[in-house]
Homo-oligomer: A and B are copies of this chain.
């Protein structure tokens, strides 16, 4: 299997992420420029055999350290609240659906649009409509439903704040089917990824077990996670993995795993041979043999 690594096209995006992060906080532009210049050192140190998530993790650590705060704290709360106002309607959509698991999976993929590593603003409502109407380009839903049917336990790796409310709905759908679910959040803040605090805001702690992975990395870089989490992960019967970062970092782990996400950049889209913005429900095992180099990285 081809491994996701860092391509030439990832580099401008590293700086775009820096600009997005620095634009979240009301500080002088001169301070922003100074911090951006310091992150060039993380970019220079990029090991292109690793995933882009490795570099962006270092970048976001440096930004938080130099700002002395988590720049995404406010926007995470805002999107949690916004998503919670949508919760009743989303819940009805699932309850009234002839196939609640199908609808809840689609909504979970729709929620993945809330990603401030990539976007500067998102229209959640429009995204919900799109997810229910548009074809999912890579759709292993039949296998997902079968795998859920076979398993008793699901390890659910959530991705972003706001999106976590959409995850709650899929998790509730799994619970309704008698599954035990453990939701996994980040061990510390990074971009707008969900932490324990967001799990509480989304009400996840009231419906299922919530663990953190002991890491502040983008995605799930297993060697940087806690031993406790690694045990949980390797012992899990079935893993639901949300978001592009988790896809990048877990795509070649040997595991019963389904990736629910949107392809948000040319590199990942090119790698998978899909359009940018494509919604995907991918069984990990199906990834063997795929993975072409993005064109400009040739």
Contact = CB atoms under 8 A, between A and B. Distances in A.
A36 interface: yes
Given A29-B297, A29-B298, A8 B22 contact: yes
Interface string A13-37: 1111011001100100110110011
Task: Give the oligomeric copy count.
Answer: 2
A155 B297 CA distance: 41
Nearest to A295: B23
Contacts of A48: 29-30, 33
Given A8-B33, A12-B13, A40-B43, A19 B296 contact: yes
Contact of A19 (B8, B18, B40, B43): B8
A16 B13 CA distance: 8
Contacts of A297: 29
Contacts of A74: none
Chain A binding surface SS class: helix
Contact of A298 (B14, B18, B32, B40): B32
A125 interface: no
Given A29-B297, A297-B29, A298-B29, A36 B11 contact: yes
B36 A8 contact: yes
**Chain A, interface residues (CB within 8 Å), range:** 20 to 34
A9 interface: yes
Given A12-B16, A19-B8, A26 B296 contact: no
- A8, A32, A48 — which one has the most chain B CB atoms within 10 A of its CB? A8
A44 B33 contact: no
Interface string A268-298: 0000000000000000000000000000111
- A12, A13, A23 — which one has the most chain B CB atoms within 10 A of its CB? A12
